[in-house]
């Protein structure tokens, strides 16, 4: 495979942070009104018998379809995963409390060599490196809380609201929900790589040769994008063909809650305004819960609609991240913050793709040249599972088929776990701790930021 220019040919749309960024983002594209939607040309392929050699997209559909959701959705005990292993295709350790040394990592080069990211077929058997816990089991949920508080990655399944939403979000439901006032954007890449980027003041002078690594395509309806995604699965789209990535976001939870608690005290109306906030109750709580641990620092819900092969380039985020897989499956390669300085992370916050890796992880030559000392783990997040990505863990994401993930972030951990590694990686001047880049501490309101800025100006 030819080596790609990592900054000019890969793209991402993994942004949508803070209310201001959210407001600017949604202005890129708005879905126009259309005639009523029908599913006649968009019905997904019928599941077939599980293959004994590989796990492909249709196998993943079959595994998801084997689960039973009873009518009384409020009852956590109603969730039944008939066979989490999908006939032995997936292997995990038995549930156990968090222990020192977890999770065990392996050399990143070895991990990428054994399963190249451009290959969307899951090796058999796939052995899970992460703890996988049943949220509907009180004992295992308590274990999950200890993993979360220890700031290590893990997965849960059996979340009633997630099970409800994954069944509710059919093609026809989404096509109808995405019409009207719902705003989103579609990015286009000439291959399967997407790197996050955003316009920043001063880019032209600081990076004169930089060009956006993707094109934002306006006027694309969800119905059109879904057709492309279904065709990508049916035709087994190649990594070097054109790919499209659809993204949308909602307002920060603190803003949503203020609207809920407006003058008339109507909590539900603002939540119903957007189908994502209306449906994903676990990500829109009025008070902190298992998934949202710091409402003032919450950045809203970000949803990514991926097609076969779409790769979101490696990066870290500063917020504790809960990722719900609502359709399909994605592979996540996770590297601890201690690997940051070995992953070719862009260290300058002025760069449009700040905190992202410039290396093409699917190019074995580049990976072996750049990542000799880096360690990582990988996991396949399947429909109905929720992955926890701690702050500052680098993650690289591959959509194995048509997929929908929605995630929400809750600010940095109270003790700042992992932040010192990031400071070493990108420099103190590019972190929130540096006095030249004062930013709000987790949970600080905009009014407090304004007062702090006014005080700083008076003392100047």
Q: Which of 65-74, 218-227, 294-303, 405-414 has the lowest mean pLDDT?
A: 65-74
Number of C-beta neighbours around residue 57 at 10 A: 25
Residues 335, 433, single domain; the answer is: no
**For residue range 381-413, what is the model confidence (pLDDT) as tens digits?**
999 999 999 999 999 999 999 999 999 999 888
Q: Which two tokens stand for residue 178?
A: 């995405």
- Residue 8 binned pLDDT confidence (cut-offs 50, 70, 90): very low
Report how many domains make up the chain.
Answer: 2
Same domain, 338 and 436: no
- Note whether 39 and 96 are same-domain residues: yes
The pLDDT mean for the chain works out to 81
C-alpha 306/C-alpha 245 separation (Å) is: 6
Q: Please give the structure tokens belonging to residue 200.
A: 């920043």
In a domain, 8, yes or no: no
pLDDT tens profile 144-166: 999 999 999 999 999 999 999 99
The answer to whether residue 421 is domain-embedded is: no
Q: Are residues 447 and 303 in the same domain?
A: no
pTM (2 d.p.): 0.80
**Quick check: is 3 in a domain?**
no
- 233 and 200 in a single domain? The answer is yes
Condensed to tens digits (0 to 9), the pLDDT of residues 330-351 reads 999 999 999 999 999 989 888 8
Q: What percentage of the chain carries pLDDT values higher than 70?
A: 75
Q: Let me know if residue 9 belongs to a domain.
A: no
pLDDT score at 377: 97
Of residues 38 and 221, more confidently modeled: 221
Does residue 10 form part of some domain?
Answer: no
Cis preceding linkage at 103, omega within 30 = yes
The reply to whether 69 falls in a domain is yes
Q: Write down the pLDDT at residue 60.
A: 77
User: Do 368 and 434 belong to one domain?
Assistant: no
Q: Domain of residue 451: give its range.
A: 427-460
Is the pLDDT at 225 greater than 50, yes or no? Answer: yes
Can you give the pLDDT at residue 438? 38
Which pLDDT score is estimated for 458?
44
Please tell me the predicted confidence (pLDDT) of residue 35: 35
- Distance between CA atoms of residues 246 and 218, nearest Å: 11
* Domain-embedded: residue 133: yes
pLDDT band at 380 (very low <50, low <70, confident <90, very high): very high
Same domain flag for 159 and 182: yes
Q: What is the pLDDT of residue 264?
A: 53
Greatest mean pLDDT among 65-69, 155-159, 365-369 lies in 155-159
Which residues pair with residue 296 across a beta bridge?
A: none
Residue with the bigger pLDDT between 42 and 394: it is 394
Clarify whether residues 408 and 431 are in a common domain.
Answer: no
* Radius of gyration from C-alpha coordinates of the chain: 21
Same domain, 356 and 447: no
- Tell whether 385 and 460 lie within a shared domain: no
Q: Does residue 186 sit within a domain?
A: yes
Q: Residue 83 is part of a domain; what is its CATH number?
A: 2.60.120.10
Q: Are residues 449 and 321 in the same domain?
A: no
Q: Are residues 104 and 213 in the same domain?
A: yes
- Which pLDDT score is estimated for 196? 84
pLDDT band at 457 (very low <50, low <70, confident <90, very high): very low
- Higher per-residue pLDDT: 194 or 57: 194
């Amino acid at each position: 495979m030819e080596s790609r220019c990592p900054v000019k040919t890969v793209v991402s749309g993994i942004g949508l942070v803070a209310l201001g960024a959210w407001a600017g983002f949604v202005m890129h594209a708005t879905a126009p009104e259309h005639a009523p939607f029908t599913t006649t040309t968009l019905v997904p392929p019928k599941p077939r018998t599980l293959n004994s050699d590989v796990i492909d997209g249709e196998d993943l559909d079959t595994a998801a379809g084997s689960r039973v959701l009873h009518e009384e959705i409020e009852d956590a005990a109603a969730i039944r995963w008939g066979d989490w292993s999908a006939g032995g295709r997936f292997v995990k350790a038995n549930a156990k409390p968090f222990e020192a040394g977890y999770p065990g990592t392996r050399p990143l080069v070895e991990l990428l060599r054994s399963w190249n990211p451009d290959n969307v077929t899951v090796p058999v058997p796939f052995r899970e490196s992460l703890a996988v816990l049943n949220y509907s089991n009180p004992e295992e949920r308590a274990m999950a809380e200890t993993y979360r508080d220890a700031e290590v990655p893990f997965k849960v399944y059996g979340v009633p609201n997630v099970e409800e939403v994954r069944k509710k979000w059919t093609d026809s439901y989404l096509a109808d929900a995405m019409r009207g006032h719902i705003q989103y954007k579609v990015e286009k890449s000439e291959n399967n790589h997407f790197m996050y980027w955003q316009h920043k003041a001063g880019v032209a002078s600081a990076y004169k040769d930089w060009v956006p690594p993707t094109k934002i395509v306006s006027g694309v309806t969800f119905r059109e994008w879904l057709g492309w995604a279904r065709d990508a699965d049916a035709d087994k789209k190649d990594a070097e063909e054109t790919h499209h990535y659809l993204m949308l976001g909602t307002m920060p939870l603190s803003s949503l809650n203020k609207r809920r608690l407006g003058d008339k005290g109507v909590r539900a109306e603002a939540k119903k305004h957007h189908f994502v906030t209306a449906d994903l109750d676990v990500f829109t709580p009025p008070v902190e819960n298992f998934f949202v641990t710091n409402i003032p620092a919450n950045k809203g819900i970000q949803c990514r609609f991926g097609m076969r092969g779409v790769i979101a380039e490696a990066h870290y985020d500063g917020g504790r991240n809960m990722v719900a897989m609502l359709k399909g499956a994605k592979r996540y390669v996770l590297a601890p913050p201690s690997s940051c300085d070995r992953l070719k992370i862009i260290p300058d916050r002025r760069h449009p793709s700040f905190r992202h890796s410039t290396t093409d992880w699917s190019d074995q030559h580049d990976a072996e040249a750049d990542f000799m000392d880096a360690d990582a783990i990988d996991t396949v997040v399947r429909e109905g599972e929720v992955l926890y990505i701690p702050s500052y863990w680098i993650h690289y994401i591959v959509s194995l088929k048509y997929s929908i993930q929605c995630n929400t972030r809750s600010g940095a951990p109270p003790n700042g776990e992992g932040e010192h590694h990031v400071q070493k990686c990108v420099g103190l001047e590019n972190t929130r701790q540096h006095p030249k880049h004062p930013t709000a501490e987790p949970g600080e309101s905009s009014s407090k930021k304004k007062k702090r800025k006014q005080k700083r100006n008076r003392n100047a």
